Amino acid sequence: MYVPTIYQAEDRTWLRRVVERYPLATLITNGPEAPYATHLPVIFTPGGTPETGAPETGGPETGGPEGATLLGHMNRSNPHWEALADGVQAQLVFTGPHGYVTPAVYETTPAAPTWNFVSVHLQGTLRLIPDFEETLNVVRMTVQAYEKEFGDGWETEGSLDYFRQIGPAVGAFHFDVRSADGMFKLSQEKDPDVREKVAARFGTGGTGRGAELAAFMREFLGTDRGTDRAGA
């Protein structure tokens, strides 16, 4: 992914934050005629890999997600799963908040419209999980992580038999992150007062995608030192 300097994050923990906040990824691998692309949920390995319990590398302590391991799963009936091979090189794409910026908000002429957005691309190696119990564990850890972050604390214990019934239809994998790119296009090329006008316009109404983008702009632009850099 091409990322102009002005839209990069000096603090690379922002890349990991996007993955954690917006964990529905697009898994992309090569196909015979065009790339395969599947939307699926992923999580960072919690507390170590399922096989060894060894701590993962990467993460907030060391910077960005490089060196970390993610876990994901998909339906085995998906032709994409059938085409996967252990050790294949793959990419995970994450999309954060985004929205159209009307030139009217700038209150200047001439002006041009644009689209503000957040995106993170992870490149790495995909390792298939052949063991059923480990696959089931990936599903359980995924549910637990999402219930904690987005749900109501629903417990899996009462549904484990059901999980075992549907488990054979699920394929799971590790994704070892080799490199990462993040695009945080949030009006950095504008003066601070204009950026605030853009955020305020997105925040009109107080809820929904626009409000989410407005909050992200203020959080990112208020903490990342890269906002004052010039670039193209």
| Per-residue pLDDT tens digits for 72-87 | 999 999 999 999 999 9
* Buried b or exposed e, range 98-108, using 16+ CB within 10 angstroms: bbebeeebbee
pLDDT at 130: 96
Q: What is the CATH number of domain 5-189?
A: 2.30.110.10
Token pair, residue 68, equals 């970390």
**Cα 174 off chain centre by:** 15
Entry pTM: 0.89
| Cβ density class 59-94: b for 16+ within 10 Å, e for less | beeeebbbbbbbbbbbeeeeebbeebeeeeebbbbb
Q: What is the mean pLDDT of residues 174-201?
A: 97
- Quick one: tokens of 214? 């407005």
Q: Is the pLDDT of residue 71 over 50?
A: yes
Q: What are phi and psi of 142, to 5 degrees?
A: -65, -45
pLDDT at 96: 97
| Residue 189 banded pLDDT, cuts 50, 70, 90 | very high
Q: Residue 62 above 60 pLDDT?
A: no
232: CB partners within 8 A, 6+ apart: 4, 5, 6
